[in-house]
Every structure is written in structure tokens, then in C-alpha cells.
């Protein structure tokens, strides 16, 4: 249990470990399948419940409204539409 607690502390306090854990979670749950399609609902469903199959009900997705707001903001900041292939 000490190893688990030590790892949890590293993830909570060290940006490298936090990003590494997030990347592992993203890959393990195949979230790119939704992100590549610009499917914010599918990404949100997978983040909240990795066994979820792309739901269409945003009221069941924890934090969806805030996630969507920042999604749109980042698309604008990075001029996303001009960057697409």
C-alpha cells in the first residue's frame, strides 16, 4: 500500500508524473478514437467512464459544460480550423 500512496503523491505533486498518468489513461481507454473525430461528447464520456460507449446525453457527463467551454477556447487560441489536415 505504501507504493500506491507514494505513486499517488507523485502524480498529485509532480507535473511529469501527472502528465504521464494522463497519457497512460488516454491511451489505455483509446480516447483518441473520439478526439480524432472532434467528438467532445465521446471524449468526455470516456474520461468519466472508460467503459462508456459514446453517449449523447451531456447531462450525465460530469463537468461537461466546463470541459466544452475550455475545448472551444483552446480551439480558438490554437486557430484549430487552420491547423487541420
User: What is the predicted pLDDT for the residue at 51?
Assistant: 62
Q: Is the per-residue pLDDT at 64 higher than 80?
A: yes
- Alpha carbon distance 8, 10 (integer Å): 5
Phi-psi region of 53 (alpha: psi -120 to 50; beta: other; left: phi over 0): beta
pLDDT for 14-63, tens place per residue?
999 999 999 999 999 899 999 999 888 888 888 887 666 656 777 777 78
User: What is the predicted pLDDT for the residue at 18?
Assistant: 95
Give strand ranges (E) for the chain. Answer: none
pTM over 0.85: no
Q: Is the per-residue pLDDT at 85 higher than 60?
A: no
Amino acid at each position: 500500500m505504501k507504493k500506491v500512496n507514494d505513486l499517488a503523491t507523485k502524480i498529485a505533486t509532480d507535473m511529469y508524473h501527472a502528465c504521464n498518468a494522463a497519457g497512460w489513461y488516454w491511451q489505455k481507454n483509446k480516447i483518441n478514437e473520439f478526439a480524432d473525430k472532434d467528438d467532445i461528447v465521446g471524449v468526455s464520456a470516456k474520461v468519466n467512464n472508460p467503459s462508456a460507449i459514446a453517449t449523447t446525453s451531456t447531462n450525465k457527463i460530469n463537468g461537461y459544460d466546463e470541459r466544452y467551454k475550455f475545448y472551444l477556447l483552446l480551439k480558438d487560441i490554437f486557430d484549430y480550423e487552420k491547423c487541420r489536415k
